[in-house]
Chain A
């Protein structure tokens, strides 16, 4: 068990390093390699998740949170970038920790896309939302996540960061190197999505302002009441 704890990250790190070396040789396949890296990241977390023995209670709790996050996307589907999903994943990660946060984010993305349609964007959304949950969980003991202002800042940063991560695959698909893969083109590309990213950030702030405290309270009460995912 302890052996696995060191071995799995080591294997995945080696694989990731191998991918980077390959990308040095094959300069014209960034899109392909970035997809592999994203898959590797997801797989790493899934393997870790499989390695833990999880109580049914915890499993169902994770599913409820992921389902609420996924359901939240559907009524907002017509307004681009505005959805409570990021908010729900952030709060869930904050209360239940980094690893649960990643799993909730990834599952919410995968499950909601099973309803709204899968596409090449699915793995990227899984990683982006997974990272939202993970960072929120990792920073749960820092002053940032324990003050309202800090949480708002976190929501704004992720509103943009989420868009930028999603831009990477769009951008790589768009140029695939050989073409203009310079900073200028990338900045122009990112600039084009600023409006949507701002809407995402603003919606995060609105949800956090109105419902942040009460949701944290509800989830924390549950965690204590049933001794879940301590």
Chain B
């Protein structure tokens, strides 16, 4: 029996497909930059809920019809309106959303959730630094850059305040000074920062003062090789001047009788801090003042006692209504979020069991939510159905897999940053590439 050489079976169709693929690559390559989406000009908002949210009422709920050996849903303590999660279609699958999240339901088409994230700590300070940066802190001291700083450095295309932080710390270890956040203790401070000079002198005298400051230099400058303070002050004064010339401060006066403010008042719950924070964040982006904004939407989630049953769900509703309003607002000019990404997160979750005081303590299995167009829609990961514990997950499907990975903030941030056109290497974990739908070009 003669030996027959085995060649792979290749049909004429396969050959033609190969040739057509090559020809298409050849034809489209010159316009590749036009097809790719540039990261510059992309907008980013990070919304932080301070104190540790109850994911069973929000991003990782359980069906109250089920029984769970390690979870007490607290149904006997909660008001009826907070007892039932509701089904939402995400990426073609049905998922449960917590009863406090109804305000986000209209934006489910943009949502990617990461469930069962191991925060590896139940200390507020450590977990905050960890969640803001996606890198394990040294004690409570942040070691990485805030995600807002990273986004600003990647997305900025010449904005006057590339990175803004409202009522929240911001870290910049690796990027140029101009990407350090302008910090506000309260969202209302934005009007002081970009508004008219307080106690300004007559115009001619102000001009003379400005000229004198332009000529001023530090006594050590001639012998100093670092950043000169007069240069940095000059850049900041120049930006202030341009901000004042643009006269955008009126667009942050939410009491003004203008059509734009009428729309904002109708959209946002401005009678609370959550609404003011998210409205200010949206306006910073819509006025092109900033490329990235990080805001503490609300605090008060650290409900260890009997107040949990009432305060936790109501405060979640307040925050999600404000975030929902912001998503609606930002979708006005970017309906599919082709150039917008919103991250919603808290430092950790709360225990699945009710403690002796009628509240919930700190728990490490957290959830993060992303609304945008760069990630695959749906839910990556899961916590243990029975006890809200951590599970090993398949990095491709995101489903439980004993041989898989333990999901950590590093994975989520590396994935998000790579999709936004940034460098994921500082996170020292492989991005979940199967969940990146498109990568912006840096």
- Tell whether A pairs with B: no
A residues engaging B (CB < 8 A)?
A: none
